[in-house]
Amino acid sequence: MANQEDMIVYSLGPGCGLEEVEEGKVYAGIVQGFANFGTFVQLNARLKGLVHKSNIIGTHEEKEQIFVQVINIRNNGNIDLAEVAPTVFRLETVTRRAKVTGLGELASRVGRDVTLEATVAQIKQTSGPTIFTLVDATGSGNAAAFVEAGVRAYPEVELGDSVFVVGEVMRRQNQLQIEVSAMEALTGEDAQRVHDRIEAALDARAEPEEIPLLIESEAMEQLRPEMRKVAKRIRRAVFEAQPIILRHHADADGISAAVAVEQAVVSLIKEEGNDLDTAYYLFKRSPSKAPFYEIEDITRDLDFALKDNVRFGQKMPLIVLMDNGSTEEDIPAMKVARVYDIPMIVVDHHHPDAIVDDYLVAHVNPYHVGADFGITAGMLGTEVARLIFPGVSDRIKHFPAVAAVGDRSEAPERQRYLDLIAEEYSEDVCKDIALALDYEQFWLRFNDGREIVKDILNVDGERDLQDKFVNLLVDEANAAIEGQMEASMPHVTEEILPNGAHLFRIDVEIFAHRFTFPPPGKTSGEIHDRLCKQHPGEPVVTLGFGPDFAVLRSRGVMMNIPQMVRELHEEIRGGGISGGGHLVVGSIKFVEGMREAALAGLVEKIGRVPVESSLPAQSED
């Protein structure tokens, strides 16, 4: 027996195997059970030995800690122990010498035992084993642990834990999988160490490459740090198997932005070794009905996310809003997300309300750097997508131009993005593509139309198909617009306001076809464009109204719609007035029974607004 004066008692760390146990050394163990010939003692989760009854010192209970010396390790792996009771000793932890394998290296380890340190990204209880999706610095993978059919293995291991795993790499239906022989949720320093190491590695992996923008743009260079932040957060989500929900404005600009990011994320998911099904459940894109993220939207997203969390053990998602999300109308939904610790990102070019930033992990917005909506969401989304997955550039580099003409950007970046692709797409073709997107999205309602939209945008290099399809959609869209104008234009009424502006009014519900393309807002816009052309150089306001709403378009009239709405809300009691938008383009809502009062009040205000003294004689298209 060793000299107890300076005895070292070893504690076998998680995953230590027989190769870490040495004869003669003393270990801390836990009494596991009793037989008539002795006492079984557990040295760690994987190893146990026997103390023959002749070698027991005192009487013990199950789960009691005792110290034991290793007398003999037999050829069959059985360990003979003797109890010792040192009075003075030092405790020392034995860490496993076995090399920790990275999840990215599993393919070369099929049929072999591996040791892993990872964090748990998903826990799915199947009717058979429990499947843990693991993430480490090098990649991700699935580990199957079985106790009993349908029973949760290692119930103490929870989503997000750092774990130590020993198992064999198997190919199951040709997918790599670790068949777990031991798993342990790390605690204290071990957990911290593994967590920190993976965290640091993921953080490093998530860092986007340094690549130049597609064009020169001072404003966008200033936005670069925030765009990198967005790209990095999205890359991390992919590396950690966190689902991504992308919600976007259902117009050509919003679609361009969102599809760019979709292409990048799906490419990255595939590069991580996942199949298409995984890409489908880890990434969902949905056009939004309203120009903001409504309480109804988050309710639906939360409903599905929680069900997936419970049923499939998925992580709660990352929510990305594009071409919307930057105004206070989004706050209620953001509050809900915060209750559930759901991170949110916004990439938008609408005038932001500062308060939204309290709820966001990142927010790219040209107004933050003194630019305006002329830097469209499609431009921003395309550059963010390139930071997420640079290889996507060639497939999406024409999106900003489509977005720019679709959203009538007047920023200098518009022309630069058009120049970038001038050999392939003329400005007119870009306009056609934008109109085709608007028209097709109208019929898609709020489905993503993933493949259709890719064909319209020509992601896959099938220009012939794109040409045929876009031309067809543009023809249909224009015919529909002509039909609508034929019905509406004769009913437009005109008056000259005190400030000299032309005011045109049209009831777009009773003098237009309903539930078809173009919808009321676009109908009003089209009417306005035509009237502007008929009155070159003159100030024009067009008011398209329905029972409980009005849409305002204007040229050369220096309105401040949000302020007018605030005033009308105060002045018209029981009008239920709300609304807003940009300064000179916007909409207003009221209760149906107060329409006359609301419109009268609005027109009265418009008539008092100053008009621009010098307008270009020819209105732009």
Residue from 1, 88, 310, 617 binding a copy of itself (CB under 8 A): 310
* Contact assessment for residue 507 and residue 530, using Cβ atoms and an 8 Å cutoff: no
* Contact assessment for residue 386 and residue 367, using Cβ atoms and an 8 Å cutoff: no
Helix (H, G, I), strand (E, B) or coil at 448: coil
Q: Is residue 591 at the binding interface for a copy of itself, with CB under 8 A as the rule?
A: yes
How near is the Cβ of 231 to a copy of itself at its closest, in Å? Answer: 25
CB of 300 or CB of 463, closer to a copy of itself:
300
Paired tokens of 595: 């329409």
Residue from 277, 428, 596, 621 binding a copy of itself (CB under 8 A): 277
Distance CA 526, CA 533 (A): 11
| Span of 232-240, 370-378, 443-451, 534-542 interacting with a copy of itself by CB under 8 A | 443-451
| Span of 400-408, 419-427, 448-456, 610-618 interacting with a copy of itself by CB under 8 A | 448-456
CB of 297 or CB of 323, closer to a copy of itself:
297
CB of 145 or CB of 559, closer to a copy of itself:
145
| Span of 41-49, 79-87, 192-200, 485-493 interacting with a copy of itself by CB under 8 A | 485-493
Residue recorded with tokens 């995984």: 278
CB of 218 or CB of 462, closer to a copy of itself:
462
- Whose CA is closest to 405, among 428, 422, 372? 428
Residue from 22, 451, 570, 612 binding a copy of itself (CB under 8 A): 451
CB of 278 or CB of 499, closer to a copy of itself:
278
Q: How many residues bind a copy of itself (CB under 8 A)?
A: 79
Distance CA 30, CA 48 (A): 9
How near is the Cβ of 602 to a copy of itself at its closest, in Å? Answer: 17
How near is the Cβ of 108 to a copy of itself at its closest, in Å? Answer: 11
Residue from 5, 19, 148, 210 binding a copy of itself (CB under 8 A): 148
Paired tokens of 435: 């109109």
| Span of 50-58, 142-150, 212-220, 608-616 interacting with a copy of itself by CB under 8 A | 142-150
Q: CB count, 10 Å around CB of 220?
A: 22
Residue recorded with tokens 């034991």: 68
Residue recorded with tokens 């991580």: 272
- For the chain, the 3-state helix, strand and coil shares in percent, each to the nearest 5, are 40, 25, 35
Q: Is residue 93 at the binding interface for a copy of itself, with CB under 8 A as the rule?
A: no
CB of 303 or CB of 410, closer to a copy of itself:
303
| Span of 7-15, 132-140, 405-413, 469-477 interacting with a copy of itself by CB under 8 A | 469-477
Collect all residues with Cβ–Cβ distance below 8 Å to 370 and sequence separation of at least 6: 219
- Whose CA is closest to 219, among 16, 370, 111? 370
CB of 47 or CB of 543, closer to a copy of itself:
543
Q: Is residue 281 at the binding interface for a copy of itself, with CB under 8 A as the rule?
A: no
The H or E element spanning position 70 is: strand 65-73
- Whose CA is closest to 558, among 537, 541, 542? 541
Long-range Cβ pairs for the range 524-532 (8 Å, 24+): 524/551, 524/553, 525/551, 525/553, 526/481, 526/484, 526/485, 527/485, 527/488, 527/489, 527/492, 528/504, 528/553, 528/554, 528/555, 529/619, 529/621, 530/485, 530/489, 531/492, 531/502, 531/504, 532/619
Distance CA 316, CA 302 (A): 9
Q: Is residue 468 at the binding interface for a copy of itself, with CB under 8 A as the rule?
A: yes
Q: Is residue 176 at the binding interface for a copy of itself, with CB under 8 A as the rule?
A: yes
Q: Is residue 57 at the binding interface for a copy of itself, with CB under 8 A as the rule?
A: no
Report strand pairing: 89-94 vs 7-12: parallel
x/- map, 155-174, a copy of itself, by CB under 8 A: ----------------x-xx
Backbone angles phi, psi at 125, to 5 degrees: -85, 115
**Alpha helix stretches (DSSP H) within 37-138:** none
Residue from 510, 563, 610, 616 binding a copy of itself (CB under 8 A): 510
Q: Is residue 446 at the binding interface for a copy of itself, with CB under 8 A as the rule?
A: no
User: What part of residues 320-379 is at the interface with a copy of itself (CB under 8 A)?
Assistant: 332, 335-336, 339-340
CB of 136 or CB of 297, closer to a copy of itself:
297
CA 526 vs CA 167, 456, 482, 521, 553: distances in Å: 66, 23, 10, 9, 10
Residue from 53, 97, 193, 300 binding a copy of itself (CB under 8 A): 300
CB of 5 or CB of 596, closer to a copy of itself:
596
Backbone angles phi, psi at 211, to 5 degrees: -130, 150
Residue from 383, 507, 526, 538 binding a copy of itself (CB under 8 A): 507
CB of 201 or CB of 295, closer to a copy of itself:
295
Residue from 185, 452, 481, 584 binding a copy of itself (CB under 8 A): 452
User: What part of residues 106-125 is at the interface with a copy of itself (CB under 8 A)?
Assistant: 107, 125
CB of 209 or CB of 303, closer to a copy of itself:
303
How near is the Cβ of 561 to a copy of itself at its closest, in Å? Answer: 19
